Amino acid sequence: MTRYAPAYRIAPSILSADFARLGQEVADVIEAGADWIHFDVMDNHYVPNLTVGPLVCKAIRPCTKAPIDVHLMVEPVDALVPMFAKAGADWITFHCEASRHIDRTIGLIRECGARPGLVFNPATPLACLEYELDKIDMILLMSVNPGFGGQKFIPGTLAKIRAVRALVERHYEQTGHEVLIEVDGGIKPANIAEVAAAGANVFVAGSAIYGAGDKAGYEREIRAMREAIATRC
C-alpha cells in the first residue's frame, strides 16, 4: 500500500470575500490558484454570528467547478444537511457538540451524496474519532474559536494536528481509507509551513487571501502559501 500523503489543498473562506460580488469572488480565487471554496455557515446559536444558508450555496454553485466545502457552525445540524447537499455542497462538516447523534448525522451526509467531516474546536477532545474514523473522509481542526474571521492562530493546535496525523496514518495503513486533515483559523503564509509540517493537508484561509484585495493579490498570497509549504515539507 502507498504511504498516506494526500495533496495539499488551499481552501479560501468566503467569510472574508466581498459579499456584494460573491460569484465573481469565488471564480477569482479559484482562477488565482485555490483548490476548494470553504463556505462558513453560522446560525447565531451555535456560534455568535450569522452568515449564509443553502440559497447562497446554490447561487455560487455555477460559478466554479471546484469543490464546495460547507462548514456548518449550526445547531441542530440534520435539517440543513439535505438542503446543502441539494445546493451543491461536495463536503459537509459539522461540530461534534452540535449533533446529538453524531453517527446518524455522518450517515445522513453520506446518504445525501456529500462527503462527511467532523469538526473539533480548540478545546474539544478527539474521543469520538475512535468510533467514527472509518465513516468520515475529513477531520477539521479549528485553530481559533469558531464564529469570526481574522482571529489569531492558537499555537496549541499544532500538537492536536500531530495527534490526528498519527491516528489517520495508522488508520490508512490498516484500511487504505484516506481521511484528510483540515485546519481552519488564522492561517497565513507566515505560519502555514508549520501547520503543514504538523500534518495538515487542507488549509482554510479567509482574511489572509481575501484581505489581499483583488485577484492579483489572491494569486500572490496563494503562491506564497504553496512556496512556504514546499520549502518546509
Backbone angles phi, psi at 19, to 5 degrees: -65, -20
Q: Which stretch binds ligand DX5 (CB under 6 A): 20-28, 52-60, 174-182, 203-211?
A: 203-211
User: Hey, is 93 helix, strand or coil?
Assistant: strand
Residues 6 or more apart from 105 whose CB is under 8 A from it? 77, 78, 81, 94, 99, 116
Q: Which of residues 4-33 bind ligand DX5 (CB under 6 A)?
A: 13, 15-16
- Consecutive H or E run containing 112: none
Classified as helix, coil or strand, 86 is: helix
DSSP state of 7: P
- CB nearer to ligand DX5: pick between 13 and 64: 13
Listed ranges 77-85, 92-100, 184-192, 214-222: which one lies at the site for ligand DX5 (CB under 6 A):
184-192
Residue of minimal CB distance from Zn ion? 71
- Using CB under 6 A, which of 71, 108, 161, 225 touches ligand DX5? 71
- Distance between start and end Cα atoms, the chain: 22
- 54 lies in the site for ligand DX5, by CB under 6 A: no
Q: How far apart are CA 207 and CA 187, in angstroms?
A: 9
Footprint of Zn ion on residues 9-68 (CB under 5 A)?
A: 40
Assess 117 for contact with ligand DX5 (CB under 6 A).
no
Task: Choose the binding region for ligand DX5 from 83-91, 122-130, 179-187, 223-231 (rule: CB under 6 A).
Answer: 179-187
Quote the CA–CA distance of 106 and 78 in Å, as a whole number. 9
Catalytic residue among 90, 137, 184, 214: 184
Figure out which of the listed residues 34, 129, 205, 212 binds ligand DX5, where binding follows CB under 6 A.
205
Give yes or no for residue 160 binding Zn ion (CB under 5 A): no
Alpha-helical segments (H) within the chain: 22-31, 54-60, 80-86, 102-111, 129-132, 157-175, 192-198, 207-210, 215-232
Closest chain position to ligand DX5 (CB): 206
Which residues are known to be catalytic?
40, 184
Binding site residues, ligand DX5, CB under 6 A: 13, 15-16, 38, 40, 71, 144, 146-147, 149-151, 184-187, 204-208
